[in-house]
Amino acid sequence: MTASYFSAPRVGTGTSYLPPLQSTMQASYKSYAPPFNVSQSLNLPWKPSTYYRGSQKSMPVAASAPELNPSHLYRDDVVSRVPPLMPSARTALFSKYTPADWFKSNNTNYRTSDMTRSSAQRLRDENVRICHDTDARTVKTQQTSSKNLGNRLQDINFWKSELNHELDEMGKEINDLNTWKNRLENALKETEGPLQIAQECLFNRENRQGIDLVNDAVEKELLKEVDKIRQSQDKLKAMIDKANTQLSMNRAGQHELEKDLQDKFRALNIDNKCHQMSNTSPGLGFHRGIEGVDQTVSLPESWAKFSNDNILRSQRERNASKGLRSDSDSVMQETSNEMWTQYNNVNVAFDGRIAETMDARNSIQNHLAKVLQEINEMENNISLLRKSIKDKEAPMQVAQSRLESRTRRPNVELCRDQPQHRLVSEVGEIYETVDILQNRLRSAEAALQELVRTKSTLEHDLQVKNNSLYLDKEKCMGLRRTYPTTAKLAGYRGQ
């Protein structure tokens, strides 16, 4: 029986007459050679389906081949007359390929091998070139990155030095402002002493007595001094508040500088570590997807502007702090001069008042001496008047006794004679004289009372003047000798 491919036309478009090879060679070149299409004519009808089914377990290649259905190549009557054949007899009965097919298949394999080797060689050469190019590009890229990191380190070092310089200047300014603030506080403390002195002087002068309790020039100047001191305290307190506020602003600027400098220090360490990192550095590893993570929050312009803004802010605060220190010095000098000027005014008023009081005291002492002398003389005069009145008793008794005795004359002897008239006249004269003396005595006693009252008034006034002199000269002026110096009022210690 002739095989069907000898008489039937070939079906398919392929040029190979061999079935697909299931060998290791095909597996080794399957990545580079095109797929081998099996022609339809190679689905041989002489391989019955029973063979594939019977040998499916032992032949994995046949198991993967499609099951042939030769009914479309043979007629039913021909197939029904073909006796079943054993597999061992098929090789002898049927031929697979012709010699031409064999040579042709070999030539095809040779050409395929040459093409595959040539393609592989070209691929190898291209791969070597690409490796060299990629190595050079990788080295260049790494060098560029290292150069950029070096430039970045220079920028960070520049701003780090600027921040360090400004931080040092701000630290000095904060120390200077603290010194001036301490001076202001010392000046404020020193004003407590003068204020207490002035108030103590006013309080002491309230102990003046009588007519000396006047609203004199000293009291007016003391009240002015108290007002000046309180105004000075208000100015110093206002400057201290401004100094505290400015110190807060300075420390805020210093904090921003320190924070920025700390960030620069950390970034410098990180970038320096990255700059020194090489292909042989320890601790290298893959970080998949890190190039897609963008956690940046600034650009180079905004980065530089941030540090520049911090420096500008610190400079503005330093300039404001210097101006505040100048204003503080002016205020301390002004308050010190005002307080000392008023202190001198008060002392001048005290000196004038003390001089007036001493003159008044001396005058009172002179008048008191004269009054005492007059009192003594008036007392002697009163004694003289009393003695004169007492001396009139005996003549009065004599005259009245004579008249009483003459009343006992008998009868007509009771004559109103000249002696009678004289005796009556004598009694009247004595009465008149006694009345005059009594009136003079009362007048003298009244004058003596006035003199005593004047003496008491002068003595009281003298006591008042002495008290005023003691208060003004001893107590007040003694207190005012402890007035602080202008250096202390200006806030300097130990001056």
pLDDT digits (tens, 9 = 90+) for 356-376: 989 999 999 999 999 999 999
Residue 116 contacts residue 33 (beta carbons within 8 Å): yes
- Measured in degrees and rounded to the nearest 5, phi and psi for residue 68 equal -80, 140
- pLDDT value at residue 10: 47
* Model pLDDT for residues 143-154, shown as the tens digit of each residue: 999 999 999 999
Buried b / exposed e along 183-196 (16+ C-beta atoms within 10 A): bbebbbebbebbbe
pLDDT at 297 over 80: yes
pLDDT band with cut points at 50, 70 and 90 for residue 410: confident
Residue 314 contacts residue 257 (beta carbons within 8 Å): yes
* Model pLDDT for residues 106-118, shown as the tens digit of each residue: 999 999 999 999 9
How large a percentage of the chain has pLDDT more than 70? 80
- pLDDT value at residue 494: 52
**Rounded-to-integer distance, Cα 404 and Cα 382, Å:** 33
Section 208-214 average pLDDT: 86
Buried b / exposed e along 296-306 (16+ C-beta atoms within 10 A): eeeeeeebeee
Residue 488: name the closest of 227, 185, 181, 178 by CA: 185
pLDDT at 183 over 50: yes
Please, is 336 exposed, middle or buried when counting C-beta atoms within 10 Å of its C-beta (0-12, 13-18, 19+)? buried
Section 442-449 average pLDDT: 92
Of the candidate ranges 44-58, 180-194, 401-415, the one whose mean pLDDT is the lowest = 44-58
pLDDT band with cut points at 50, 70 and 90 for residue 266: very high
Section 171-176 average pLDDT: 94
Other residues' Cβ atoms within 10 Å of the Cβ of residue 295: 4
Section 286-300 average pLDDT: 87
Residue 441 contacts residue 382 (beta carbons within 8 Å): yes
pLDDT band with cut points at 50, 70 and 90 for residue 67: very low
pTM exceeds 0.75 for this model: no
Average pLDDT, the chain: 81
**Rounded-to-integer distance, Cα 113 and Cα 108, Å:** 8
pLDDT at 450 over 60: yes
Residue 271 contacts residue 149 (beta carbons within 8 Å): yes
